[in-house]
Structure 1
Amino acid sequence: MPLFDKPLPELREYRPERDEQPDFDDFWSRTLAEAAEFPLDPEFTPYDAALSLVDVYDVRFSGWGGHRIAGWFLAPAGATAPLPTVVHYIGYGGGRGFPHDWLATAVAGFATFVMDTRGQGSNGTPGDTPDPVGGQNAQTPGFMTRGILDPADYYYRRVFTDGVRAVDAALTHPLVDPSRLVIGGGSQGGGIATAVAGLRPGLAGAMIDVPFLTGYRRATEIVETQPYYEIARYLSIHRGYEDRVFRTLSYFDGMNFAARATAPALYSVALMDTTCPPSTVFGSFNHYAGPKEIRVWPYNKHEGGQTFQTREQLHWLRDIAKGA
């Protein structure tokens, strides 16, 4: 796939107008307040992962609606003092997988909290968290149109709230240093991380790789790949719902969360990415309100930097670990 989006010099300056509803902040304040009515009830149960250098715990906590969300918690074996911590969010369709899938930050000396994504985990890595709530509208296969006619019903209202609650659950563990907690994820995980960065103050950093869930309208109009194509396919059948659909999506657009985020951020973008187009990533990055850096992978698709980006992150995280 050749370069198909804006040239890199234009991308670096690309700052599109945000579609933001007047009650955006009130919507999310009410959402998080409703979620806070349910106790977190975090559980950390020792788990035999056959990893002698890492202590592993099966995690459960209450997310949106009090629904129990699964996860993992990993820490260097025998650690007793509070540690810098990374809360990880997962890409589209994937689940929490197995503890050995999440070793990079744990062996770098970080406590590592992995949030399962409700309703997902049957495409790639396995998951353990159902989504007990269904949208009231007909939907395409996947998650992008579940509840899409009303922001109160939309699937990602629950997922983003779970993401905020995952930070709160991680902070209950005695090995987590609250002053050195970083969030991160790629693709859908990057979209969740962007939302949490805009909703949850007090973070030490955010690692946002090739983020999904940002610039919905542009992405839907310039690529014909999943998952954004789920929106186009829905609208191709449900003609006349365009305004209603994009109004709902405006409450979940990464650009609007980025404009409210203040924690230092490390982004990545791939210039041949036809899943999350580079202009949508730069739209989020250029609106991000906090200190920020971006790593550009010119010849990559949605895989982005992969292990090269992990190396970038580990070096970036060293300053977090030092409390810098």
Structure 2
Amino acid sequence: MALFDLPLDELRDYRSASVEPEGFDTFWAKTLQEAREHELGARFEPVETHLKTVKVYDVTFAGFGGHPVKGWLTLPAWASSPLPVIVEFVGYGGGRGLPHTHLLWASAGFAHFVMDTRGQGSAWGGGETPDPVGSGPAYPGYMTRGVDAPENYYYRRVFTDAVRAVETARSHPLVDEARTAVVGGSQGGGITIAVGGLVPDLAAIAPDVPFLCDFPRAATLTDRNPYREIGNFLKTHRGRTDEVLRTLSYFDGVHFAARGRAPALFSVALEDQTCPPSTVFAAFNAWATEDKTIEVYDFNDHEGGETYQEAAKLSWLSHLAAG
């Protein structure tokens, strides 16, 4: 696929037309307050993996509604004092997978916490966290589950789980909460941006080719899933476009980015049809601090920078590991 979105010089100046809904901050403050009425109840159970360089813990904590959410915490085997922590969120359809697939960050001297995504984990990287909340009629996938109202929307639960995941990671005695970074790609990148807007004291965020940004443009620019799920829903539910976009506006990465305070490293791929570059730049350009940079992969689709971007993040976050 050749370039299909705006030229790079226009992308660097692009601003989303997504309208921030009235009461955005109140909605999220109330949502998180309700979640915190449940005890976090974080449990870290050692796992025998036959790996010699790391220790792995099977984690369970209370997310949205007090529902149990799973994760893995991986620590360098030599760890005896608090470490910086990387909290990672995974891509669409995936789950936390198996422990041996999460060795990069612990190998670099970080604690690493990966969150399972409720209701997902059957397309790749198996998951173990159900979503006990139902929804009204929805197009197959997750994008329109509960889209009738912000209070019912699927990603309200996921973003809340993600904030609680940060709190869980920080609760472990071998984690230095002052050195917390959040990372993720695609859906995980969108969750990363949301957490960056909801947790005010992060040390860094690094979203790669992020999803869940600039919904009004994304839903009309690309015919790839998952964004296409929105259009397919509206093909059947005619006349509900304004209602759906209003709900989605409470979950748009552009509005979370406007509240971001941590240093940020984004990445974008200019041939990405899944998360079009303009939607990524919409969030990057809205990120509220000047301490931000974006890696541009000009001939890549949604795979983005892959291992090259991993190397960029390792270099960029090395100051956290150095203390």
Query: TM-score surpassing 0.5?
Result: yes
Amino acid at match of 1:261: G
Amino acid at match of 1:59: V
Residue in structure 1 matched with residue 69 of structure 2 by the alignment: 69
Residue in structure 1 matched with residue 131 of structure 2 by the alignment: 131
* Alignment pair present for 1:271 and 2:270: yes
Residue in structure 2 matched with residue 282 of structure 1 by the alignment: 281
Question: What is the aligned length?
Answer: 322
List gaps (5 residues or longer) in structure 2.
none
8 A contact 2:17–2:216 mirrored in 1: no
Q: CA deviation at 1:83?
A: 0.3
Residue in structure 1 matched with residue 151 of structure 2 by the alignment: 152
Mapped partners of 2:181, 2:18: distance in 1: 26
Secondary structure of the corresponding residue to residue 75 of structure 1: strand
* Alignment pair present for 1:13 and 2:19: no
Mapped partners of 1:180, 1:254: distance in 2: 23
Cα shift readout 1:273-295 (whole Å, capped 9, x = no counterpart): 00000000000000001221100
Secondary structure of the corresponding residue to residue 86 of structure 1: strand
Residue in structure 2 matched with residue 204 of structure 1 by the alignment: 203
Cα shift readout 1:248-292 (whole Å, capped 9, x = no counterpart): 000000000000010001100000000000000000000001221
List gaps (5 residues or longer) in structure 1.
none
Q: How does 1:147-226 map to 2 (within 5 A)?
A: 147-226=146-225
Residue in structure 1 matched with residue 304 of structure 2 by the alignment: 304
Amino acid at match of 1:308: Y
Mapped partners of 1:252, 1:226: distance in 2: 18
Residue in structure 2 matched with residue 122 of structure 1 by the alignment: 122
Q: How does 1:307-322 map to 2 (within 5 A)?
A: 307-322=307-322
Q: CA deviation at 1:78?
A: 2.9
Query: Which range is displaced more, 260-269 or 12-21?
Result: 12-21
Mapped partners of 1:242, 1:17: distance in 2: 15
Instruction: Give RMSD over aligned pairs.
Output: 0.7
Amino acid at match of 2:311: R
Secondary structure of the corresponding residue to residue 103 of structure 2: helix
Residue in structure 1 matched with residue 89 of structure 2 by the alignment: 89
8 A contact 2:212–2:252 mirrored in 1: yes
Secondary structure of the corresponding residue to residue 171 of structure 1: helix
Cα shift readout 1:12-59 (whole Å, capped 9, x = no counterpart): 111224411110000000000000000000000000112110000000
Q: CA deviation at 1:102?
A: 1.1
* Alignment pair present for 1:57 and 2:57: yes
Mapped partners of 2:259, 2:225: distance in 1: 28
Q: CA deviation at 1:322?
A: 2.9
Cα shift readout 1:77-114 (whole Å, capped 9, x = no counterpart): 03111001100000000000011111111100000001
Amino acid at match of 1:79: A
- Going from structure 1 to structure 2, the CA distance change for 1:103 and 1:215 (only over 3 Å counts) comes to same
Mapped partners of 2:44, 2:249: distance in 1: 36
Q: CA deviation at 1:247?
A: 0.2
Q: CA deviation at 1:319?
A: 1.6
* Alignment pair present for 1:112 and 2:109: no
- Going from structure 1 to structure 2, the CA distance change for 1:167 and 1:27 (only over 3 Å counts) comes to same
Mapped partners of 2:319, 2:279: distance in 1: 28
8 A contact 2:18–2:215 mirrored in 1: no
- When normalised by structure 2's length, the TM-score is 0.99
Mapped partners of 2:255, 2:4: distance in 1: 25
